[in-house]
A and B are shown apart, each in its own frame.
Chain A
């Protein structure tokens, strides 16, 4: 096997060199996805940024133009306002919303890791058949509707729902607890819906792990727990980072979960943006909220991309 892998490096080069000969065709293949993503992923952010510098107006579309053209004098004025950003930073409400989103996403990510790690570890150490079955059991909820999985908790957590009924029948509580429409329900919803995103990258790294390293540690006298902390955890780091980022980043901007499971006082920035846009119809302010959220998330996104290209 070693002998065949050596020359493949040189042919790999020639394979790529031969693609170079394609010229125009190659150019087309590159440009199609590139142009699509430029037009519908990248440029939209520029538009959001532009509109975040405008003022809300009662018109169609409901914001002031950035460049005002005076046809009589052939004179254009650039109208830029940072008022939306100033408003965001001056108002306690938005700052609280950002902080509380980061807190909720962070705590949920931690619990997803706590629940996801044993599952990923067990799957990685199972035999081939058990592995396929268990892995499918993790993937199945991931394919099932996100919205419906959040909805499933509504029936469970209601005042007369299953969770309260069970707890009352075993005498844990005397009267139903208010679980739905609390922050706790939001934590639960995020951990639940994002759990597969945590398990899959963890499994990928744990599967590749060399078990003889743990054996070696144990042979040298390390207790299982110590071997876990000193050997398994550091080796699983890329998977842990990937899993945590895949949960944390989208959870910060989550709208559906706080809207369905959270109370009216559950403050999350995704919900604030939604309300600003759909209820107050303040497009420029919603844009500013989005831009600040993007800036907050650029760090974690870069961290995810650089830290573990393999685990993804």
Chain B
């Protein structure tokens, strides 16, 4: 038998976890700091949360970002599910290798390249077809859908790969047409993967600074763009409050997602 994990392993992993969490915890603590000088402690206070909600620029940007994230996550979930399905369930066809390349490459593509290339495309399209007229919410949605689609496709594809095909086969043998097979059997089975793909897309869209900066137009600053322009000048207490709220929301969502996924797995076997 191999002995339990050695203390050296636990120590180095523990150090890793401290490294992962110390900055986040410090950020949360600072958000309750009364003092305007963020790093000088001036007592507990909720005043920066009040300031945050009174800051119209931040609230407007948050609204724009939420709208964009909702639409692009939904579009990405549909297209990404199709792409993942095609890649794992369809027999080899011409262009399958290309499609799988186009699905994985956006995952690692540096954002400056994606952003620049999409902007240049939109400019070229506008001068050729007159659409999209100018840049704003529409162009950001297209850009976000494109890179989020890749994440959904990968999640769905790995779920389909781990899925036992016998259920789908049984339905086919019982005479299910491919379309009803997909909606009645396959879709419910992969719905947890689609949901987590949707959530991932939503957070990625909400978080994107670089691509949105390239493809957005005047008056369409997203939340990360506003945050970036503020923190460039230094640490600001309102942003600490905003960060704490966002971290809280994400933590609740992730824990809920993990609980749901575990429950699903218990019903469907490993």
Contacts and interface: CB of A to CB of B under 8 A. Distances in A.
Contacts of B206: 145
B224 to A, nearest CB: 5
A3 interface: no
Given A119-B17, A153-B23, A260 B232 contact: yes
A307 interface: no
Contacts of B228: 147, 256
A151 B116 contact: no
B263 interface: no
Interface residues of B, number: 98
A136 interface: yes
A11 B116 CA distance: 46
A51 B120 contact: yes
Interface residues of A, number: 101
Given A15-B165, A145-B207, A34 B20 contact: no
A189 B231 CA distance: 15
B87 to A, nearest CB: 9
Most buried by B among A252, A293, A305: A305
Given A33-B83, A43-B121, A146-B207, A215 B1 contact: yes
A257 to B, nearest CB: 11
A312 interface: yes
* Highest count of chain A CB atoms <10 Å: which of B109, B213, B227: B109
A155 B30 contact: yes
B258 interface: yes
A208 interface: no
A161 B22 CA distance: 13
B146 interface: yes
Interface string B93-127: 10100010111111111111110111011011001
B120 A44 contact: yes
Interface in A8-56: 8, 11-12, 14-22, 25-26, 29-30, 32-34, 36-38, 40-45, 47-48, 51
B9 interface: yes
A214 B26 CA distance: 40
A115 interface: yes
Contacts of A152: 23-24, 26-27, 243
Contact of B112 (A15, A153, A270): A270
A294 B104 CA distance: 15
B111 to A, nearest CB: 7
A94 interface: no
A121 B169 CA distance: 38
A218 interface: yes
Contacts of B203: 143, 145
B210 A138 contact: no
B90 A37 contact: no
A20 B82 CA distance: 16
A297 to B, nearest CB: 7
Contacts of A138: 20
B121 A47 contact: yes
B257 to A, nearest CB: 9
A37 B82 CA distance: 12
Contact of B127 (A61, A161, A162): A61
Contacts of B108: 245-246, 249-250, 301, 304
Interface of B: 1-2, 5-6, 9-10, 12-13, 15-17, 19-24, 26-27, 30, 38-40, 79-80, 82-83, 85-86, 89-91, 93, 95, 99, 101-114, 116-118, 120-121, 123-124, 127, 142-143, 145-146, 149, 153-154, 165-166, 168-169, 172, 178-179, 200, 203, 206-207, 209-210, 213-214, 224, 227-228, 231-232, 234-235, 239-240, 243, 246-247, 250-251, 253-255, 258, 262
Given A16-B89, A37-B102, 13 more contacts: A16-B90, A19-B89, A29-B90, A119-B16, A123-B13, A137-B21, A144-B250, A146-B207, A155-B30, A158-B235, A270-B110, A270-B112, A290-B116
27 contacts: A4-B166, A19-B89, A19-B91, A33-B99, A38-B102, A41-B102, A45-B117, A47-B121, A121-B13, A122-B9, A132-B258, A141-B20, A143-B203, A144-B24, A144-B247, A145-B250, A147-B207, A152-B23, A155-B39, A160-B39, A165-B39, A253-B113, A255-B112, A270-B110, A290-B116, A297-B110, A304-B108
